[in-house]
Structure 1
Amino acid sequence: MIKKMKNFILSIFAALALFSCKSRTAVQPNTTVEKPIVNSNKAFFDKILQKDQFESLKISSKVNAETGQFIPTLDATFYIENNQKVWVNLQALFITMARGIATPSGIKGYEKLNKTYIDSDFGYINKLLKINFIDYNSLQNLLLGKTFIPVNENDYELITSEKGFFLNSIKNQIFEVNGKKSEYKISLNYNPELDLKKIYLEDLISKNTLEINYENFENIGSQKLPKNVKIIIKGQKTDQIFIENTKFEFLKMETPFSIPANYTKTIIK
């Protein structure tokens, strides 16, 4: 049952993320993109770390997960209230199969097939991704295709080319959370418009890796969002999550959430 729940949460995360595909956007995209002028390292880092200004965003997506066990394609609705919550509803054949919510205080979710639920801090998500530094803000940025790790000029080498910008850590990046210290080698790739294309992290102790690829960014109002997201988690085995966003809408919506009675709590150790 723990394996089934883990696969479900991988799907939820994929779903919590954000993202995707043959878009039917609520706002006509602006096809002309003005390249930013980056005339210094400071201007580059200021741009890639710029905070989002939207209030609320609904994303309709399709989510596929490859975990070694069969998981059907899921229709997902993600709803993000900036800096407040990420809510996701997962359906198969128009039937709600799972629901989850993340806030700055932690995450909750349940799935109907095995009648199980989670109620945890972000350590749960970190264990699934095989890293240790994800909190609410970094989760939201990850889902939206934004730089979700702390980066600064002193820790990285910046390389520019016709294909874009490349950041490579020049010293091990150390993150300590709840007394646990991890060291990572990190590389990031941005296109010429400074959209994040790829981030790769290697845990230098466990040798686990996390790779996330973003493709087909689209202007939706004042926001740029990736239509396709691919998450690859490598440890003793490899899990992959594919997210295909079909519609973006800036609107407010109801996000009901309550864990049904008689469900069993699941813990990933």
Structure 2
Amino acid sequence: MKSSIFIIIAALAVSSCAVQKKQTEAPVSTTKPIENNAEFFSSIAKKSSFDAVKINSRIDAKTGSFIPTLDAVIYIENGQKIWMNLTAVILQAARGVATPQGIKAYNRLDKTYIDSDFSYLNKLLNVNFIDYNAMQNLLTGKTFLPVSDDKFRLTTNASGFNLVSKEAQKITENGKTVSYNIALDYDKDLNLNHVLLTNPQNNDQLDITYSNREILNNESFPKNVKIIIKANKTTEILIENTKFDFSRMETAYAVPANYTKTEIK
């Protein structure tokens, strides 16, 4: 299956859409570290309270090869399931579902499918820590990385708050350990605006920007998200979330006959 399609599924369309201006550097702190760090870390760790949300999106991806603009329906049942359907023009292009057990998806354009744990998504995003909860938080604009007061330096600035790892953070999953320098920016309402992860060994980066937030059902959702994956090549995923609906829906998923499984390498 063409990896470009599943980068979009994984990153969901992971998330977002044309941000007008990319923030290339974390804002410089203009004040001393805030005093009540415990309240900050407790607030950003709060779990989503919605039961289910359906998000209509438009996705553009830049991978070095042509991918048409895609219309997407992303449906999330909190803590249980992320279902996605992608359409190119008027043709269904791909469908996928993620649960705490792993990821399944098929691509109608080349009649292939995947059935994997989250190692597939981690490979696409060039990281090693994504599981179901991290994926849901990433898509909905919440903190998706492990952060703590003893390992991060918290400061305030004109825009809100800046959180930077004191040293490279080692994250071990499935026997694999990777170090990341991590910087996160939050607005004054403690909404996540920007995440930058850098691997100090090779300077690979995962750069995510959330913008144009809207308060719905007493929770903040980003209408625009920009994901940039920098490794041997640069992949850019832009998603515009155009509509939110909090009613439940049916989420059919079945791989059509005669599709070929793509093995994870």
TM-score between the two structures when normalised by the length of structure 2: 0.91
Matched AA of 1:213: T
**Contact persistence 2:183–2:197 (CA under 8 A):** yes
The question of 1:65 aligning with 2:61 is answered: yes
TM-superposed deviation, 1:14: 3.6
Q: Mapping of 1:228-243 within 5 angstroms?
A: 228-243=224-239
Distance 2:141 2:87 in 1: 24
Matched AA of 2:43: K
Partner residue in 1 for 2:9: 12
Q: Mapping of 1:1-269 within 5 angstroms?
A: 5-15=2-12, 17-19=14-16, 40-269=36-265
The change in CA–CA distance for 1:11 and 1:240 in structure 2 (over 3 A counts) is same
Runs of 4+ in 1 over 3 A off after TM superposition: 18-21
RMSD: 1.4
Matched AA of 2:10: F
Distance 1:130 1:177 in 2: 13
Matched AA of 2:37: N
**Contact persistence 1:117–1:265 (CA under 8 A):** yes
TM-score between the two structures when normalised by the length of structure 1: 0.90
Does the residue aligned with 1:142 lie in a helix, a strand or coil? helix
TM-superposed deviation, 1:20: 5.3
Partner residue in 2 for 1:24: none
Distance 2:223 2:186 in 1: 16
**Contact persistence 1:18–1:59 (CA under 8 A):** no
**Contact persistence 1:182–1:205 (CA under 8 A):** no
Does the residue aligned with 1:239 lie in a helix, a strand or coil? strand
**Contact persistence 1:190–1:197 (CA under 8 A):** yes
Does the residue aligned with 2:255 lie in a helix, a strand or coil? coil
TM-superposed deviation, 1:161: 1.6
Q: Give aligned pairs, total.
A: 250
Does the residue aligned with 2:12 lie in a helix, a strand or coil? helix
Q: Deviations over 1:167-200 (max 9, x none)?
A: 0100221111111110110000011111111000
Distance 2:76 2:145 in 1: 19
**Gaps in structure 2 of 5+ consecutive residues:** 19-33
TM-superposed deviation, 1:13: 2.3
Partner residue in 1 for 2:30: none
Partner residue in 1 for 2:21: none
Distance 2:15 2:80 in 1: 15
